[in-house]
C-alpha cells in the first residue's frame, strides 16, 4: 500500500510550545506540574506526560474548583493550557497560591487581545465557534458580558439586536470557508460589523493539505487525533466533503485494516494535538499492509 503523509500532520507551534513549557518545568524539578484541564486534546500524549510528572486537574471546560494538597502547592506549578482561560479563571488560578505559568497558544492570545480591545470600546463580540469548547469559553470572558457564540446562520438570526458596534472573530480551529460564509451572513444584517479572520495558520494549512491528499490520488484518508480535538474532528469532516472514505482513529490499534486493505493509496493526516509517534505507528502499519 502506498501511504501519502500530509506535510502538516502533527503538532502545531502552539501545542508544541505548551508541551515544552510543561516539560521544562518538570525537568527543573517542579513536581507535580498541574494543568487546568487537559494541556492538549490528545489522551495518549497526556498519558505520556503523566509519566513525566505532568498531570491534569480541573475539568475539560476549566469551570470547576480545584482542590490541591498544600504540599503540592508548595512544590508544584500550575500551568494554563494551550486553549487559554478567561480573565476570571486566570484570577482564580492565581489565587490558589501556586507558582503559575501561562502556556496559552499565542494565536489564541491574539484573539483574546482583539476581543478585549473592542469590548473596551463598547462593541458586541460575535465568536464563530463551539460554545462548549474551552477556547471559546475562555474567549467569552474577554467580551465584558457582551459576547455571543454562534455555530450557524440560524444562530446569527436568533441573536438579540446588537446595534452598530459589532466585532466578529472565530475560534482558531474552525473552517475558513465556514467562517467567511458566517461573516457574510452577519454583514447582511449588520453591514458595519468589523470582521476578523482569526482561524489560525496551522488549521488553515491542515485543511488545505486534506485537499492536496485528494489531488495526489488518495483513495481514502486516515485522520489521527483525539475524539475531543476540535481541529481533528474538522479534518475528518473535510475528508468526507471530498467524497472520500474517512477513518478517524486515535491510535494504530483502531485501524480497520479489513477495509483499508481495499485501497492502493491511502492518505494520512493528523490534528494539531497529535504526537508524531502516533502518526509514525499508523503510517508503518499501513505501509506494511499488502492489498
Q: Tens digit of pLDDT for each residue in 99-151?
A: 999 999 999 999 999 999 999 999 999 999 999 999 999 999 999 999 999 99
Peptide bond between residue 238 and the one before it cis (omega within 30 degrees of 0): no
Residue tagged active-site, from 135, 164, 254, 259:
135
Domain with residue 213: its CATH number is 3.40.1010.20
Q: Percent of the chain scored above 70 by pLDDT?
A: 100
Question: Quick one: 6 and 20 in the same domain?
Answer: no
Distance linking the first and last C-alpha atoms of the chain: 6
* Cα 140 from Cα 158, distance rounded (Å): 18
All three cell numbers of 288: 506494511
- The whole domain housing 95 covers 13-104
- Res 291: pLDDT: 59
Q: Percent of the chain scored above 90 by pLDDT?
A: 89
Last residue of a domain, one of 76, 104, 132: 104
* Cα 165 from Cα 118, distance rounded (Å): 9
* Cα 133 from Cα 254, distance rounded (Å): 25
Question: Quick one: 131 and 73 in the same domain?
Answer: no
CA 192 to chain centre: 30
Query: Among candidates 179, 177, 178, which has minimal Cα distance to 169?
Result: 179
Quick check: is 215 catalytic? no
Where the chain has pLDDT below 70, the residues are: 291
Q: What is the pTM of this model?
A: 0.91
- Res 40: pLDDT: 86
Last residue of a domain, one of 104, 127, 154: 104
Question: Quick one: 84 and 124 in the same domain?
Answer: no
Number of domains in the chain: 3
Enumerate the H helices of the chain as residue ranges.
Answer: 13-27, 43-50, 70-75, 87-94, 106-119, 134-140, 153-157, 176-189, 201-215, 230-241, 257-260, 276-287
- Res 41: pLDDT: 85
CA dist list (Å): 241 to 23, 63, 186, 211? 38, 35, 24, 10
* Cα 189 from Cα 158, distance rounded (Å): 12
All three cell numbers of 47: 498519558
All three cell numbers of 182: 458566517
Question: Quick one: 94 and 111 in the same domain?
Answer: no
Burial 60-74 (b: 16+ CB within 10 A, else e): bebeeebeeeeeeee
All three cell numbers of 91: 484570577
Last residue of a domain, one of 104, 135, 165: 104
* Cα 139 from Cα 77, distance rounded (Å): 24
Domain with residue 96: its CATH number is 3.40.50.11270
Query: Among candidates 181, 178, 183, 177, which has minimal Cα distance to 196?
Result: 183
Amino acid at each position: 500500500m502506498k501511504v501519502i503523509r500530509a506535510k502538516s500532520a502533527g503538532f502545531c507551534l502552539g501545542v508544541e510550545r505548551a508541551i515544552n513549557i510543561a516539560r521544562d518545568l518538570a525537568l527543573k524539578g517542579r513536581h507535580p506540574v498541574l494543568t487546568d484541564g487537559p494541556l492538549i486534546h490528545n489522551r495518549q500524549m497526556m498519558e505520556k506526560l503523566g509519566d513525566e510528572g505532568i498531570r491534569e486537574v480541573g475539568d475539560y471546560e476549566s469551570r470547576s474548583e480545584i482542590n490541591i494538597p498544600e504540599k503540592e502547592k508548595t512544590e508544584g506549578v500550575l500551568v494554563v493550557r494551550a486553549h487559554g482561560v478567561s480573565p476570571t479563571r486566570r484570577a482564580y488560578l492565581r489565587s490558589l497560591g501556586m507558582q503559575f505559568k501561562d502556556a496559552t497558544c499565542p494565536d489564541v492570545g491574539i484573539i483574546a487581545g482583539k476581543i478585549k480591545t473592542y469590548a473596551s470600546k463598547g462593541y458586541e463580540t460575535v465568536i464563530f465557534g463551539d460554545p462548549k469548547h474551552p477556547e471559546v469559553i475562555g474567549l467569552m470572558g474577554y467580551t465584558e458580558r457582551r459576547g455571543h457564540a454562534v455555530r450557524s446562520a440560524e444562530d446569527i438570526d436568533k441573536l438579540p439586536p446588537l446595534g452598530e458596534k459589532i466585532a466578529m472573530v472565530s475560534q482558531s480551529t474552525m473552517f475558513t470557508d465556514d467562517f467567511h460564509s458566517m461573516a457574510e451572513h452577519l454583514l447582511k444584517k449588520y453591514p458595519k460589523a468589523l470582521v476578523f479572520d482569526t482561524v489560525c495558520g496551522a488549521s488553515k494549512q491542515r485543511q488545505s493539505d486534506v485537499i492536496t491528499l485528494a489531488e495526489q490520488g488518495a483513495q481514502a484518508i486516515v485522520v489521527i487525533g483525539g475524539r475531543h480535538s476540535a481541529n481533528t474532528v474538522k479534518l475528518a469532516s473535510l475528508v468526507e466533503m471530498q467524497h472520500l472514505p474517512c477513518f478517524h482513529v486515535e491510535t494504530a490499534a483502531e485501524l480497520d485494516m479489513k477495509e483499508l486493505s481495499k485501497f492502493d493509496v491511502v492518505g494520512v493526516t493528523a490534528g494539531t494535538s497529535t504526537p508524531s509517534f502516533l502518526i509514525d505507528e499508523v503510517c508503518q502499519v499501513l505501509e506494511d499492509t499488502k492489498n
